[in-house]
């Protein structure tokens, strides 16, 4: 089927804004009729005519020179809901979803696999079921757990819908350690007529003064100013035990565009993408890393860091956020801290993830260099994952940091999965973004990623650790974490956030070792990994109790299973703690945000 993603320009006088106008059609006549009577949804594609959308790889096409890769949230901003014909044309009737209940092999068993969303909630007020809930993040402070995801319901639900369904970041809350969740719909946004919370969530948690707070970040798009933004929503657990609920405030602007250009009477500003959170509970700081795609750097991607002061945990104050204002951004604001400038050859930087050294307050940020642009031999450069060290002395609570850049940088050459064809995954290219964690007891910061350099073109999960501060490599070469050795078996999108109480790493990822050469997908984990390890673990742990068939799913989001997974460790005093794993799961033929957890050994 031919697909068209047609942007509808917003009108400053109209506060009932059609945010996305998407038209599958069978004939030119149908297209004409729809063009004359556009769908009045509450999601608008590229509402400000931002030229970054013209540089993104269009849906259903192969990458081409001069194009950019970007996150699912950026694609939702630019193209709106998207068909998944690529996955459907690959569907094989011989592949059916596994109902396996095999026990999990490895160091410990995970418990139930729990859907954090309620499919019955993914219905618009007019009664339309929407398929597209994926790209997850999770945080926990037992017994409380929050999982957030991209929610396609927001494309079609009008402003003011019940449970804020018009927003593109959905979330669920558990007050029983992840045994069950309440789907809370979309994040609150009282100004939904002039802005949208645009997905790509990250979740963090903070306990202080006997209270528990969760922070959920997202891409944030105001309609009537040229700047784009990133937001943080502060939520507080109210009550306790089985009666506890989650009360969330309004979005707080954490970062805004710093790069704008004007042409005649039209101004456009940079797009902020792929934000992720890490917390410093000792000093009461929340950090957000992200990529800024702006005209002055040829949209090559500047990696930046924002900071939020949690002195008032219910209402953080963020640098580069115009004092959190939603309705009046004022002039573009300089970024708080530039981790990596735009590349002189315009090779793309993307996929930044942060981690905090809780012992010192230092921050580490890793990202992928020459992603997407590496397909076209950009500047003769090499695709790399890059680790950066930012001392606590640079992280003052001021509008901008006193430091001009990282104190140390270390890069690892990688073999990218960018052109790997992954059956059932409806996006090309894939990504190799690094996920990171600090272990004070080991004196390391570690990053993991999927890599095709060990002979498996569908990727292995590799680990590289560095000494804190100096970033001197610990291992002479990256270590493979997936214990199987099958060639042509998918290992993809690893997650790593924090460490156990004894400083060990726990890494989870998508895996097809049970069903190679198919679309049947599981989640596996390497648990209790010493950051200084030099050999592959003897075994991994299966997290999923059912394999999901990616070739048999319906979704209006590209990528249908997101471009990251997540996990979160709640350290335990008498044990290693508990590991919560979150992923997009297609076992009911619609991607859903799942969660499972298991106890860690010391």
The per-residue pLDDT for range 249-295, each reduced to its tens digit, is: 999 999 999 999 988 778 889 999 999 999 999 999 999 999 999 99
Ranges 71-75, 105-109, 459-463, 476-480: which has the least confidence: 105-109
Region of residue 379 (phi > 0: left; psi between -120 and 50: alpha; otherwise: beta): left
- Grade residue 10 by pLDDT with cuts at 50, 70 and 90: very low
Helix (H) or strand (E) holding 54: helix 52-55
- Grade residue 1 by pLDDT with cuts at 50, 70 and 90: very low
Prediction pTM value: 0.88
Q: Rounded to whole angstroms, what are the CA distances from 345 to 231, 368, 481, 495?
A: 30, 15, 34, 30
Residues of the chain above pLDDT 90, percent: 74
Q: Rounded to whole angstroms, what are the CA distances from 179 to 212, 256, 330, 598?
A: 19, 37, 45, 11
- Grade residue 66 by pLDDT with cuts at 50, 70 and 90: confident
- Grade residue 77 by pLDDT with cuts at 50, 70 and 90: confident
Domain extents for the chain? 3-600
Q: Tell me what the mean pLDDT of segment 566-570 comes to.
A: 97
What per-residue confidence (pLDDT) applies to 321? 65
- Grade residue 332 by pLDDT with cuts at 50, 70 and 90: confident
* The two three-digit tokens of residue 233, written as one number: 């929503």
Long-range contacts of 26-32 (CB under 8 A, 24+ apart): 26/1, 31/4
Helix (H) or strand (E) holding 582: strand 577-585
- Give residue-wise pLDDT tens across range 349-366: 999 999 999 999 999 999
- Burial-class residue 172 by CB neighbours within 10 Å (0-12, 13-18, 19+): buried
Rg (CA), the chain: 22
What per-residue confidence (pLDDT) applies to 572? 85
Flag whether pLDDT at 31 surpasses 70. Answer: no
- Count the Cβ atoms, other than its own, within 10 Å of residue 16: 11
- Give residue-wise pLDDT tens across range 510-547: 999 999 989 999 999 999 999 999 999 999 999 999 99
Pick the CATH number of 3-600 from 2.130.10.10, 1.10.10.10, 3.20.20.70, 2.40.50.100: 2.130.10.10
Flag whether pLDDT at 88 surpasses 60. Answer: no
Determine the number of helices (DSSP H) and then strands (DSSP E) in the chain. 4, 36
**Sequence-ordered list of residues with C-beta below 8 angstroms from that of 69, at least 6 positions apart, any chain:** 56, 57, 63, 348, 350, 371, 372, 429, 431
Flag whether pLDDT at 27 surpasses 60. Answer: no
What per-residue confidence (pLDDT) applies to 323? 57
Cα–Cα dist 361/397, whole Å: 13
What per-residue confidence (pLDDT) applies to 301? 97
Cα–Cα dist 540/601, whole Å: 14
Cα–Cα dist 397/91, whole Å: 52
Flag whether pLDDT at 602 surpasses 70. Answer: no
- Grade residue 84 by pLDDT with cuts at 50, 70 and 90: low
Flag whether pLDDT at 199 surpasses 50. Answer: yes
- Grade residue 328 by pLDDT with cuts at 50, 70 and 90: low
- Grade residue 83 by pLDDT with cuts at 50, 70 and 90: low
What per-residue confidence (pLDDT) applies to 44? 55
DSSP 471-515: --BSSSS-EE------TT--EEEEE-----TTS-EEEEEEE-TTS
- Give residue-wise pLDDT tens across range 286-326: 999 999 999 999 999 999 999 999 999 999 999 876 555 55
Q: Tell me what the mean pLDDT of segment 569-594 comes to.
A: 92
Q: Tell me what the mean pLDDT of segment 208-228 comes to.
A: 95
Ranges 1-5, 214-218, 487-491, 539-543: which has the least confidence: 1-5
What per-residue confidence (pLDDT) applies to 97? 35
Flag whether pLDDT at 217 surpasses 80. Answer: yes
Q: How many residues does the chain have?
A: 602
Flag whether pLDDT at 40 surpasses 70. Answer: no
- State the Cα angle at 410 between 408 and 415, rounded to 5°: 160
Residue 117: CA count within 13 A, CB half-sphere? 37
Residue 70: closest CA among 41, 42, 50: 50
Residue 358: closest CA among 569, 217, 527: 569
What per-residue confidence (pLDDT) applies to 289? 98
- Grade residue 29 by pLDDT with cuts at 50, 70 and 90: very low
SS3 content of the chain, % helix, strand, coil (to 5): 10, 35, 55
Query: For all residues of the chain together, what is the average pLDDT?
Result: 86
């Amino acid at each position: 089927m031919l697909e068209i993603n047609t942007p509808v320009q917003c009108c400053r006088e109209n506060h009932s804004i059609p945010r996305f106008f998407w038209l599958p059609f069978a004939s030119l006549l149908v297209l004409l009729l729809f063009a004359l009577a556009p769908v009045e949804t509450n999601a608008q594609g590229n509402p400000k005519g931002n030229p970054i959308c013209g540089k993104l790889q269009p849906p259903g096409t192969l990458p081409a020179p001069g194009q950019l890769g970007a996150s699912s949230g950026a694609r939702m901003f630019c193209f709106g809901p998207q068909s998944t014909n690529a996955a459907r044309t690959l569907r094989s009737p011989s592949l059916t979803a596994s109902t396996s209940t095999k026990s999990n092999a490895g160091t410990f068993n995970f418990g139930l696999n729990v859907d954090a969303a309620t499919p019955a909630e993914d219905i618009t007020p007019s009664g339309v079921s929407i398929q597209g809930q994926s790209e997850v993040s999770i945080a926990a402070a037992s017994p409380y757990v929050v999982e957030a995801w991209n929610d396609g319901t927001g494309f079609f639900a009008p402003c003011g819908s019940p449970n804020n369904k018009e927003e593109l970041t959905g979330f669920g809350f558990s007050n029983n350690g992840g045994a069950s969740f309440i789907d809370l719909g979309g994040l609150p946004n009282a100004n939904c007529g002039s802005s949208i919370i645009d997905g790509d969530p990250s979740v963090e948690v903070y306990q202080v003064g006997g209270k528990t707070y969760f922070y959920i970040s997202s891409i944030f798009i105001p309609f009537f100013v040229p700047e784009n933004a990133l937001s943080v929503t502060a939520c507080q657990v109210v009550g306790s035990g089985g009666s506890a609920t989650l009360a969330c405030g309004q979005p707080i602007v954490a970062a805004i565009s710093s790069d704008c250009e004007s042409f005649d009477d039209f101004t456009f500003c940079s797009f902020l993408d792929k934000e992720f959170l890490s917390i410093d509970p000792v000093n009461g700081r929340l950090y957000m890393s992200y990529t800024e795609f702006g005209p002055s750097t040829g949209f090559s991607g500047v990696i930046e860091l924002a900071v939020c002061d949690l002195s008032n945990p219910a209402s953080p104050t963020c640098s580069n956020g115009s004092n959190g204002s939603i309705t009046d951004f004022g002039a573009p604001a300089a970024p708080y801290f530039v981790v990596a400038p735009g590349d002189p050859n315009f090779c793309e930087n993307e996929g930044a993830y942060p981690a905090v050294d809780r012992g010192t307050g230092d921050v580490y940020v890793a990202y992928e260099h020459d992603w997407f642009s590496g397909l076209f031999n950009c500047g003769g450069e090499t695709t790399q994952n890059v680790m950066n060290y930012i001392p606590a002395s640079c992280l003052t609570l001021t509008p901008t940091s006193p430091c001009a850049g990282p104190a140390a940088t270390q890069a690892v050459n990688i073999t990218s999965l960018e052109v790997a064809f992954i059956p059932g995954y409806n996006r090309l290219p894939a990504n190799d973004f690094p996920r990171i964690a600090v272990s004070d007891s080991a004196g390391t910061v570690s990053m993991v990623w999927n890599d095709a350099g060990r002979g498996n073109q569908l990727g292995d999960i590799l680990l590289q650790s560095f000494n804190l501060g100096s970033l001197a490599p610990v291992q002479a070469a990256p270590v493979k974490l997936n214990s199987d050795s099958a060639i042509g078996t998918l290992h993809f999108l690893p997650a790593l956030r924090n460490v156990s109480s004894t400083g060990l790493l726990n890494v989870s990822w998508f895996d097809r070792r049970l069903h190679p050469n198919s679309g049947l997908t599981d989640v596996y984990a390497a648990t209790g990994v010493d950051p200084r390890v030099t050999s592959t673990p003897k075994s991994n742990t299966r997290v999923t109790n059912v394999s999901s068939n990616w070739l048999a799913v319906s979704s209006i989001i590209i990528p249908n299973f997101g471009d990251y997974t997540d996990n979160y460790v709640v350290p335990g005093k008498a044990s290693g703690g508990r590991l919560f794993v979150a992923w997009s799961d297609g076992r009911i033929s619609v991607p859903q945000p799942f969660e499972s957890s298991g106890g860690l050994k010391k």
